[in-house]
Structure formats: structure tokens, C-alpha cells
Amino acid sequence: MIKQIFGKLPRKPSSKLSQYDSNNNDISAFASVNLNSTSADLGPSRPTSNGTYAPTMSSQGKILGPQVAPTLANYVAACEALPSLRDVPSSERQNLFIRKLNMCSVVFDFTEPTMNLNEKDVKRKMLLELVDYVSSVNSKFSEVAMQAMTKMLSANLFRALPSPNHDSKLLGDVYDPEDDEPTAEPSWPHLQIVYEFLLRFVSSSETDAKLAKRYIDHSFVLKLLDLFDSDDQREREYLKTILHRIYGKFMVHRPFIRKAINNIFYNFIFETEKNNGIAELLEILGSIINGFALPLKEEHKLFLVRALIPLHKPKCMSAYHQQLSYCITQFVEKDVKLADTVIRGLLKYWPLTNSSKEVMFISELEEVLEATQAAEFQRCMVPLFRQIGSCVNSSHFQVAERALFLWNNDHIRNLIILNQKVILPIILPSLEKNARGHWNQAVQSLTLNVRKVFSDADQSFFDECLVKFQEDEMKEKEMLERRESIWKRLEDAAASKAVRNEAVLVSIFPSSVAIATSTNSRSAIGT
């Protein structure tokens, strides 16, 4: 009997449900309007963070998605019917804020710039009002408000990115901001305000990280990372700032964010070599690496070896080399023992046919060597100066010049002088060949300066190495002459047997042509 009596009593709704119902009053009101009027399409429906779809308008004026939304004709009137957030009491602002967030979840089509101008302008003004509210709010955001904010952000931001630069270029070509015209996102008038809203929400002191992490979750972060491939530089700059703030505010997400960035790098290095946001991601990582605690974790060292060093491999390295070089140098400054690993990694990916990329490698090598101590330098100096010697002899004057500039760095020059007993015999042949006959006068002058550095440091050892080089040069010349003499005898023997139709040894040397010619003439005389 008592249960029956209680069952007839009206139940008091929970505070969250009552808030949520009030938030949806606006959309429910839109559902009751006349849907027979025709209007332009607002664009495709887009998923939100909770798996539902933001309402979008069909060409018949109907909403596509799980719930009905207003016609375009009533969108403006419905938005203008809502009072300003400044004009309502503070107790009602949160509910009005959520209703306006729901209104801004409607996404318009910007591919046609002349369509729905009034609606777009009204939404833009409402977005600006929301940004102002988030910046000035003095009370904690509720869970229902965060849910509505995430829904609005997901509806407006998360979309399929157009990739005209990727599709129109041949494999291996990359977007060059200096040569190619920058691509502008057509919906940027709204997107910029939405990004500003997200930035201020994440940065706000009224955002409870423990509560917000339920909505700014792994799925949300992954979708943000996907947007880094946008062709619009302005969008990538906003994403860079926002992701860095998320990394700082949500400590629980830090390992996941690092791992997700790793996966983007792996996909870029070993599969596609196409991503517009590598420079921005590296810029974020540069700040993150700078804050790593010492001693470095094994996870961070593996990230250096498996992701950062292989990023020197792609052809488009010039687009992000400055940021990559900064990250690499940060690791060496954090742990000097990593210098040997980094230098050997650079030598592994050293370019063979790309001179401009080779110049960048030498510049980065100089930065790494500046942070290298003597013990680590000695571990890698032999293969290092073999490569530097090859660069010094390069016929490309910029490569040779940049390699010779290494001796202008005081720290590097001191390391070289301390280990000249090993380095001078390796580098002297390259210096002598340059001094004798490099086509560029500036390279010859720099070469003579480097020779003087070695001779001033230890004249007797320099003379000893020079004599040794000359002896080796004579031996090489004698060996070449003997080889040519042997080939000459073989060719003569082959030519003498040609008359008897025996097998003739054909040489790659031009002398074989002459022998063959003389043999043919002798045969002709004999006949």
C-alpha cells in the first residue's frame, strides 16, 4: 500500500536532468516551426564527442540527424530572441550560455560564400559573445556546460580536411610556403572564433581539469591532432597553442599525447611523407623536451632514436628542420652522453645527392657539436671527419664552404686541436686537394685558413702528415700506372690473338679501340 502511494507521487527531477532539459528547450522549440519552407543546405552533419551528430540543414529546410532543428528562416529569429548574457541575472547565465552553445552547434556551408549570409553573421556574433563570456566568467563550469561546449566544438572543428596540395602534387613534392600560395580555410571566419573559444576555455581558471578530462578526452585529443594536417597556417598556429595548453593543464593526458605524436611521426616517416603540421608538432615537443626531468627516462631516449633522428630522412625536411634541430639540441644539452647517438644518427641519414639538405645537416651538426664534450666527441670523431672531409671536397661550393666554417667555431676548433693526431690524417687529403684545384676561390681561401690552423697548432706533426700524404699520393700514382700497364699488356695479348679468331679481351680504356683499329688494318693488309 505504501509503495503504491509513493508510486503515485510526482518524482523530483535531478538537478542535472532539469538543467539539461532547459538547455534543449530552444532546440525543441525550433522543432515545432513550419518545416515546409525551402532553403539552402547548411552542410553535412558532423559527429560530436559523444557520438551523436550536430544538427545540420537539408535543402528542404529540415534538420538531418537525431533531432529536428530550425529552418534557416527561423534560425536568425530564434537567435535574436535569446537575450544577451550580460542582460540576464547571474543565476540564469549558465542556462542561457548552454542554450546559445546549442544554437552554435549548427554548421553552415562556406563553400558558397554568398549563401546564408545573415545566418552566418548572427552565428558569428553569438560565438563572439560566448568567447567573451568564457573569458569573464567567475564561477566554475558545470558538467552539463562542459558537455554542451564539447558538442559545439566537435560540430564546428572536427571535419574532413581538403588536401589540394597533397592531391595535385607528384609523389615526393611537398607544400612550400615560399613558392606555393597559402591555402585559406573558407569557414575561417567562424573557425577562428571557435578556436579562440576552446583556447580560453582550456586556459580558464574556472575550468576544473578533473571534470573537464571526461570531455577533453583521448578521442578529442586525437581529432585535434588530425587537424594539424590542415593547409591553413592560421589553423595550425591555433592548434599548436591549444594542444600545448591541454598538455600543461591535463597531466593525465601527457603520456597519451606524446604517444599520439609519435604515431603521427612514424606514419609520416615510414609511409606517407605527407603532413602539414610536423613543424608545429615539433615546436610543441621542443617546449616539452625542455621540461623533461633528469635523468631522462628510457621512453624519452627511445623517442629520440626512433622518431626524431629518422625525421631527417624525408625529402621535405626543410619545412621543419629548424624545429627538429632545436629538439635534437635540447636532448644533447639535457644529456651530453646522447651526443654520440645523435651524431651517428645524422651520419646514417646523411644526404648523398641533395646539396641544400647537406648544408642543413652541417648546420645542425655544428649546433650539436657545440654541446658535445670531449669524451663523446672522441667516440664518433673518425666517421664524423670522414664525412666532413667528403663535404670539404664537394664540388658544390656551399657544401664545401659550410663544412670549412666549422673551424670558425671556437669550441669545435678546440675539440679538433685536442684530437688532431687522429683528425688531421683523415682531413688533410681533402684540404690538399681543395688547395690545389677547387674551382671556387672562396673555398680555396677557407681551405688555406684551415691548413694554417693545423700548422700553427703543431707544425712538426703537420709536416709529418703532409709528407705521409705525399708518399701515399705517389704510391697511388704508381699503383695506377701499374694497373694501366697491366691492362695495356692484356690488350696487346688480346690483339695479337685476334688474327686466329680467339677470344679477345675487351677493355673499357680508349686504348683498346686503337688496338682494335690497328688490328683491323693489319688484317686488311694480310688479306
H, E, C per residue of 472-493: HHHHHHHHHHHHHHHHHHHHHH
Distance, in Å, from the CA atom of 296 to the CA atom of 309, rounded to the nearest integer, reads 17
Contact between 111 and 66 under an 8 Å Cβ cutoff? The reply is: no
Distance, in Å, from the CA atom of 294 to the CA atom of 291, rounded to the nearest integer, reads 9
Distance, in Å, from the CA atom of 164 to the CA atom of 167, rounded to the nearest integer, reads 5
Distance, in Å, from the CA atom of 83 to the CA atom of 94, rounded to the nearest integer, reads 13
Query: What pTM was computed for the model?
Result: 0.76
Cell 670523431 belongs to residue: 381
Distance, in Å, from the CA atom of 448 to the CA atom of 429, rounded to the nearest integer, reads 13
Contact between 334 and 292 under an 8 Å Cβ cutoff? The reply is: yes
Distance, in Å, from the CA atom of 403 to the CA atom of 257, rounded to the nearest integer, reads 38
> Could you tell me which of 352, 441, 351, 166 has the C-alpha nearest to residue 276?
166
Contact between 308 and 327 under an 8 Å Cβ cutoff? The reply is: yes
Sites in the chain below the pLDDT cut of 50: 1-3, 5-6, 8-69, 166-172, 511-519, 521-527
Percent of the chain with pLDDT over 90: 61
Q: Is 90 exposed, middle or buried (0-12, 13-18, 19+ CB in 10 A)?
A: exposed
In this prediction, residue 50 carries a pLDDT of: 37
In this prediction, residue 172 carries a pLDDT of: 44
In this prediction, residue 16 carries a pLDDT of: 36
Q: How many CB atoms lie within 10 A of CB 237?
A: 13
In this prediction, residue 504 carries a pLDDT of: 55
> Could you tell me which of 228, 262, 260 has the C-alpha nearest to residue 242?
228
Distance, in Å, from the CA atom of 455 to the CA atom of 475, rounded to the nearest integer, reads 24
Q: Which residues contact residue 255 at a Cβ distance below 8 angstroms, ignoring those fewer than 6 apart? A: none
In this prediction, residue 9 carries a pLDDT of: 45
Q: Over the stretch 444-499, which tens digit does the pLDDT of each residue have? A: 999 999 999 999 999 999 999 999 998 988 998 999 999 999 998 888 888 777 66
